[in-house]
Structure 1
Amino acid sequence: MEAQVTQLASLSQKDKVSAYLSLLSQTLSRPDLSSAPADIHVIVDSAVNEASAGLVVGRQVLAELVKNIESGAIKDHDLRKQVVQDTLAILERAASYEEQVNSLRFQLADLLEAEEEWSEAAHALMGISFDGPTSLLNELKFRVYIRIVRLLLEEEDSVQAETYYNRAASLSNSTSDKETLLQFRLCQARISDYARKFLEAAMRYHELSWVAEIDEEERKHILQVAVTCAVLAPAGPNRSRVLASLYRDERSAELPTYNILSKMFLDHILRPAEVKSFEETLRPHQLAKIAISSNDQLASAVDDDELDPSASTRRGPSTVLDRAVMEHNLLASSKIYNNITFRGLGALLDLTPGAAETMARKMIEQGRLKGHIDQVDKLIWFEGAKEEDDAQGKAGGLGDVEQVTEDTGSPFTKRWDMQIRMTAANVESIVQHLADKNLLQPVPVGAQTV
């Protein structure tokens, strides 16, 4: 092949183009293409780097090669990959071939993606240079950035993926293609998931699970990921709203994670066996280790000298799941108890008393738990939820009703009275709703009921 290429140097510039193309065509039309990569290397290297060939010849040869690769002239996957990589290596030393280089990079990314070499495929796309009309350029950039993000997330390289996601976000208005925008929204949810912004990720996944354009099985999988993220989110009112939305979704009952979803929504305490079963469904980034700050370690060691030998010696959660379960169980205990000792809470959460107090203090400070801490008596007092108060006067559609509360002088009696009022108001609301739907049948006067 080298001898044949050398003979082309004596041809006129006009004849060189057809001669190079003919030589390339002969090479690609052979029955046995095992030696084709080496011959194509010689042809491309000569057309691009030989001064006698010129820019026109180089572009024509590269354009024809790209066209043949795209049309499947080289059937064997490994041979095609070898030709593309070799050609790109030659073009690294040459300029003025951006269009052909971009086409080859797209080809290489496709080949590497088929091999599940996610990171290498992403890096192939990162080398693409953009040049052309602004509107078309922005749309192309957006598509390429989204594809890079998807590939990097498959490799679980969330840090670099977020960099390219931010670039894509600034170009999200450049296209109206539904498929591309759906991919962008999915990347948005996955970035939040990998960044451990589980509450935000759960909301985004749940929204996507309703998109009709997505395959039904894929929507079911997205819904399951939404439940997983909601379970891992920090306990508190915001998570409770997301859990309520997922729990009321009829499709959730078919998910394998429905049991833990229902327990969290109903504020039931989670048991180790249930947590272990759920843990097996998590991905590596959702089981990330978390470090305990030096301040928390110091605070959790306060009562070490008073510890029962059989008590837990853990000073804090070790994983994201661990923390989510402990915070949930703490919140659930606030629905059961009026108060609890540090030691009792530590036994419930499998923590030292000091670590249990630290967790409760943080949740109270952040507004995710209502209560106060008595460090003298070593008690945590839980306060009743006040959110329902506004709804008490609206049962049965009566609108705002002035409520008069008798001062009994006892906080526990007040709380009991409030629970009775809430139950009565909820019953009245249900009856009114049934009446509005004409689902109640009047009972004749004097009729006997069994």
Structure 2
Amino acid sequence: MSAKLTAVCALPQKEQAAAFVALAQDDIFSKQPPSMASDLRALVDTVVNTDSVGLVVGRQVLSELVKILGDGVVKDVELRKTLVQETLAVIQPKIVSYEEQVNILRFQLADILEEEEEWSEAARVLMGTSLDSGQRAMADGDKLRVYVRIVRLLLEDEDSVQAETYYNRAALLVHSTNDKETLLQFKLCQARISDYGRKFLEAASRYHELSYVGEIDEEERQHMLSAAVTCAVLAPAGPNRSRVLASLYRDERTLELPTYNVLSKMFLDHILRSAEIKSFEATLKPHQLAKIAISSNDRLASAAGQDDDAANSNEPAASTRTGPSTVLDRAVMEHNLLASGKIYNNITFRGLGALLDLTPGAAETMARKMIEQGRLRGFIDQVDKLIWFEGSHEEDNAQGKAGGLGDVEEAEDTGAPFTKRWDNQIRLTAANTESIVQHLAEKGLVSLAA
């Protein structure tokens, strides 16, 4: 092979390109694998590093070699992977002169690695491509496809930190294309980035939106709907999450999901039990089970409340936990706290602690933070160690107009639970109906059966 390469180098430059390509096709790619890799490396080294071979000839020869490798002439995937890696290693020192050929080789290598499910390695290969400079400028749409692919590969290995960097680059170029497939992949990356970043409300909305897209397979849409329910359950309790839960609860497709029981209890403000939480926990991904740290201020407040409560009570504390340990833990505790406000007018710190499996001080701390953030309507009486719940005016109005009754005369608010107020509305509606029927009977418009 060395002698043949030397002979080709001695030819006039006009004939060198064709001679090198013919040598590659006839003598290299037709050989057995052990010698193929070494011979191809020798040819590429000669073309790139020999002074008698010009840059124009070198680019022509490398372009043909890249095309041969991409056309699948080499059927053995491992051998093709080796050939591409060897070629890249030889060209690397002079990458500035052969950027276009190097980029194509990197795309080929990334395809092979992706088929082998080497996600992070494939992403690193694509990161090395020259997108912003080169012999031929790459269009914004092509750059966007590369960035989205890198994000998708990194998320497969749950490297959300680095994925977010390339997602931000893609977000700057998303306006440059109308390609539906690329835009759908970008939106899916958007949802997954929010999911990994624990922005569960945003992720739930995006997953739910994608679950309606007809271009996506039915199985994938079902998976996205399930992901939307999971993220909605994990989101911080409050009015915003209630709106997302309502949207999902009204979606008839969620009835078929294994997580529907938890979704319905969340939406209907029912208290979740430990058995239900464990079955839901089994469906979560590792990043959704990440541990959360309790701030030093919250830990001190919880401990102080526990010591003070123990000093004034002969009963032992029901729990020694000073806060939620996981994202799911926190979501369930906040939901149960909101649900208790639908059942009770007020509750003691100790009672709430028993309900949430927290110390009384930790239960007070959680309620205080939710009230401060506007996610819980109520106030705290630290003298009597009580949390008082306040009903929302919107909920009161909804109780008065539920079932299509329209505007009716509202009974005096006595502070009774919603069930009693609802019974009063039913009695009032029945009385009004009877009055209307009697009035129509007196006018002779209707006849009452005996």
CA offset at residue 422 of structure 1?
Answer: 5.6
CA offset at residue 412 of structure 1?
Answer: 2.6
Contact 1:392 1:425 in 2 (8 A): no
1:436 maps to none
Q: Counterpart amino acid of 1:251?
A: R
Q: Separation in 2 of the partners of 1:106 and 1:336?
A: 60
1:81 maps to 81
Within the candidate set 361, 379, 389, 2:386 is matched to 379
2:292 maps to 290
Structure 1, unaligned runs of 5 or more = 429-443
Q: Counterpart amino acid of 2:160?
A: S
Provide, for residues 90-119 of structure 1, a one-character-per-residue CA deviation record: whole Å limited to 9, x for no partner: 111013111111100110110111111111
1:92 maps to 92
**Inter-CA distance 397–275: structure 2 relative to 1 (3 Å threshold):** closer
1:432 maps to none
**Inter-CA distance 319–427: structure 2 relative to 1 (3 Å threshold):** farther
* RMSD of aligned Cα (Å): 2.6
**Inter-CA distance 80–272: structure 2 relative to 1 (3 Å threshold):** same
2:329 maps to 322
**Inter-CA distance 426–365: structure 2 relative to 1 (3 Å threshold):** farther
Q: Counterpart amino acid of 1:107?
A: Q
Structure 2, unaligned runs of 5 or more = 432-445
Residue pairs, 1:26-425, within 5 angstroms: 26-30=26-30, 32-94=32-94, 95-130=96-131, 131=133, 137-305=139-307, 306-307=309-310, 308-309=315-316, 311-390=318-397, 406=412, 411-413=414-416, 418-420=421-423
Between the aligned residues of both structures, percent identity stands at 68
278-287 or 20-29: bigger deviation: 20-29
Secondary structure of 1:141's counterpart equals helix
346-355 or 15-24: bigger deviation: 15-24
**Inter-CA distance 215–40: structure 2 relative to 1 (3 Å threshold):** same
Q: Separation in 1 of the partners of 2:51 and 2:125?
A: 28
Contact 1:162 1:191 in 2 (8 A): yes
Provide, for residues 39-95 of structure 1, a one-character-per-residue CA deviation record: whole Å limited to 9, x for no partner: 110000110111111112211121111111111011111111111111111111013
**Inter-CA distance 137–286: structure 2 relative to 1 (3 Å threshold):** same
CA offset at residue 362 of structure 1?
Answer: 0.4
234-243 or 9-18: bigger deviation: 9-18
**Inter-CA distance 133–344: structure 2 relative to 1 (3 Å threshold):** farther
Q: Separation in 2 of the partners of 1:16 and 1:321?
A: 67
CA offset at residue 239 of structure 1?
Answer: 0.6
Q: Separation in 2 of the partners of 1:426 and 1:96?
A: 85
Contact 1:231 1:261 in 2 (8 A): yes
Q: Counterpart amino acid of 2:186?
A: F
Contact 1:297 1:315 in 2 (8 A): yes
Provide, for residues 348-367 of structure 1, a one-character-per-residue CA deviation record: whole Å limited to 9, x for no partner: 11110000000000001111
**Inter-CA distance 359–423: structure 2 relative to 1 (3 Å threshold):** farther
Contact 2:147 2:166 in 1 (8 A): yes
CA offset at residue 29 of structure 1?
Answer: 3.9
Contact 2:99 2:134 in 1 (8 A): no
CA offset at residue 369 of structure 1?
Answer: 0.6
Q: Separation in 2 of the partners of 1:395 and 1:330?
A: 25
Q: Separation in 1 of the partners of 2:79 and 2:67?
A: 16
Q: Counterpart amino acid of 1:334?
A: G
Q: Counterpart amino acid of 1:110?
A: D
**Inter-CA distance 423–51: structure 2 relative to 1 (3 Å threshold):** farther
**Inter-CA distance 244–414: structure 2 relative to 1 (3 Å threshold):** closer
Q: Counterpart amino acid of 1:182?
A: L
Secondary structure of 2:322's counterpart equals coil
Contact 1:28 1:73 in 2 (8 A): no
Provide, for residues 321-342 of structure 1, a one-character-per-residue CA deviation record: whole Å limited to 9, x for no partner: 1100111111111111111110
Q: Counterpart amino acid of 1:355?
A: A
Q: Separation in 2 of the partners of 1:272 and 1:392?
A: 30
Contact 1:392 1:421 in 2 (8 A): no
Q: Separation in 1 of the partners of 2:143 and 2:177?
A: 10
Q: Separation in 1 of the partners of 2:52 and 2:5?
A: 12
TM-score between both structures, scaled by the size of structure 1: 0.89
Secondary structure of 2:304's counterpart equals coil
Contact 2:154 2:163 in 1 (8 A): yes
